[in-house]
Structure 1
């Protein structure tokens, strides 16, 4: 409650129709940072409720999560849930609306007409992402990508600010409106004073995150199978399969017998899983939206002191080379992946040294604590403190 003479807390609404209520970038990083800094923050998301707050460490008192029911189809989400989320946001009396999905751009135009300030958070390069959507027939991917990109740029012209997750995404938007807020790890979540020596860890590699065809699930399982010729290797998997039917398909692969699948793990359990492994896998396919991406997993592996075996994209090769924290391979070359896994995991001393290099480099260059200040500076411009008239 505000005391006499105190300045009102700025009301902010973060909106998502697509993401999970516990989304790390939105809830754990951006919403939590703003609430701790003195904003009254609402996160409106399908399936959101007070129970969502249980997943936060040190939950701020002025952060609330709510939202409509989860939609049963993609079309319902795009054409009904988007407007439900926006209308619930309007009921919060927020002055600033922060949109996290491209499908919220049309409601964003309405919010601008109603006099609200609107921020668009570009998590990915939308046109490139659409060109990688396998559920779309190939012949319509380019036209849909062009149309979506045009709508996104119209939003950029109308809205007050753009938050971009990578430099490549930022280059698509007007420079004067755009700030770069990278999706980097919260280092405190991954620090550990007495990590288990690599020589005492299980002989396993890990992958944590969304599990899809284009994120290399088949190659990871096949490479684990092939690596058995050199080392009795296990693959620790954690995260949701997309689509869910892919799980049954993956179980039919020969190498699945060497997989330990934990399902969707609580975020608090992730650091412990990584600290039980000897290498982190990041074998995204060379899809348009992956080439210049900055995946949070890469930096979480580094922050956890885990050496990385990653796709040989130029940007990733540069980061891993500078940090001396792993190796890069052709993600579609199963034999090369298997050899890299066997070589790294069979030499725990070298793997541990690379892991330590990555942890030190992440502390210096890839920490959410640095990005948070950029976000807070943007909001200080969007929600300046009210002017209090002086007495005469």
Structure 2
């Protein structure tokens, strides 16, 4: 007999302390009285203890070819579990659902869609270009077959739903808003005007545009600006980033922190002046709202973001910053210099963003949506 208060939540790709999965969803479910068995990737960081939440670490792998072995292991664990609920976070784990449905017809199966994966395939650089279109078509067919086994699909963005109207199970949008945080007192400091970026660090998320920005600012205004980068990146990219920093002698003005536990990013925000979100205009980014926009609002930080139509409308509506092409270095520098020269005036952008976050854009709202539609349907 399955345990109606037990959830197996699992990922074959995400690290155990992924912000959305661990700090928001898993903790919310544990706090609601569920027993949560959470399986995810070991990243060497000390596991955070939380009542009702048991973290099971899967060994990291450098090879994508090793993933099927991980899928097989997770399926065996799921098959043996007495949990009523099974909550997956990766499109590849959809492949397990038909067999799991046959084994556990009464279980509740949920797929948590973090990105529109078929659309994202078109820009995956590790996939040879000649294979992207046929792979996308295969994924679409695979999704149609496997999602038929789902009881629920969670969309992290409402824009994803248009691609899945043919799927008949229950669908809910649960936005990736920040957890509710009290307003952060600004840390008084005589330090340079600080730009910050928090999130996965990749080329298409603007790492080299941000480095070029700080390089130009350093040339024009030595010691007046600095850049903080918080988030994971591949070893090969980190080598390129460090080479850029060394070549242009930016060691004193660029701070690279790597992955930082979610509760600790807020102190970095308190010591910063402007949040950057200079993503490239690829399909997945154009169709979704970056989580960091909401985090910057929560931290009362003015925003400088890519000029995507939805982002521009959002930022203009809430008067929380400005937008520019991520490739227009001159305009970006102009916007940064304006804010550095008039910090008290532009602090209003951060204050306006904070007020809107408190009313509309925090995780407490989304947590209740998840609980009432999936985990407490009666």
- Compute the TM-score of the two structures, normalised by the length of structure 2: 0.91
Alignment of 1:113-132 (within 5 A): 113-114=102-103, 115=105, 116-132=107-123
Bigger share in strand: 2
Give the superposition deviation at 1:91: 3.0
How big is each residue's C-alpha offset from its partner over 1:202-222, in whole Å with a ceiling of 9 and x where there is no partner? 311001111100000000010
Residue 58 of structure 2 is matched in structure 1 by 68
For the pair 1:321 / 2:322, whether they are aligned, the reply is no
- Distance in 1 between residues matched to 2:217 and 2:141, nearest whole Å: 46
2:100 to 90, 93, 111: 111
How big is each residue's C-alpha offset from its partner over 1:30-88, in whole Å with a ceiling of 9 and x where there is no partner? 1111111121111112338995224xxxx2x22111143223411111x1111212222
Residue 212 of structure 2 is matched in structure 1 by 222
Give the superposition deviation at 1:247: 1.4
Give the superposition deviation at 1:200: 5.0
Name structure 2 gaps, 5 residues minimum.
none
RMSD of aligned alpha carbons: 2.2
Give the superposition deviation at 1:141: 1.4
For the pair 1:239 / 2:231, whether they are aligned, the reply is yes
- Partner secondary structure for residue 172 of structure 1: helix
Name structure 1 gaps, 5 residues minimum.
1-7, 385-392
Residue 17 of structure 2 is matched in structure 1 by 22
For the pair 1:136 / 2:136, whether they are aligned, the reply is no
| Bigger mean CA deviation after superposition, 28-37 or 277-286 | 28-37
- Compute the TM-score of the two structures, normalised by the length of structure 1: 0.88
1:180 to 173, 181, 195: 173
Residue 366 of structure 1 is matched in structure 2 by 361
1:47 to 28, 37, 42: 42
- Partner secondary structure for residue 352 of structure 2: helix
Give the superposition deviation at 1:135: 1.2
For the pair 1:165 / 2:156, whether they are aligned, the reply is yes
Residue 209 of structure 1 is matched in structure 2 by 199
8 A contact 2:94–2:147 mirrored in 1: no
Question: Judging changes above 3 Å, is the alpha-carbon distance between structure 1 residues 251 and 380 closer, same or farther for their aligned structure 2 residues?
Answer: closer
For the pair 1:335 / 2:330, whether they are aligned, the reply is yes
Q: Count residues in correspondence.
A: 367
How big is each residue's C-alpha offset from its partner over 1:312-361, in whole Å with a ceiling of 9 and x where there is no partner? 11111111111101010001222222222222223211231111111111
Question: Judging changes above 3 Å, is the alpha-carbon distance between structure 1 residues 110 and 191 closer, same or farther for their aligned structure 2 residues?
Answer: farther
Give the superposition deviation at 1:180: 0.4
- Distance in 1 between residues matched to 2:172 and 2:376, nearest whole Å: 12
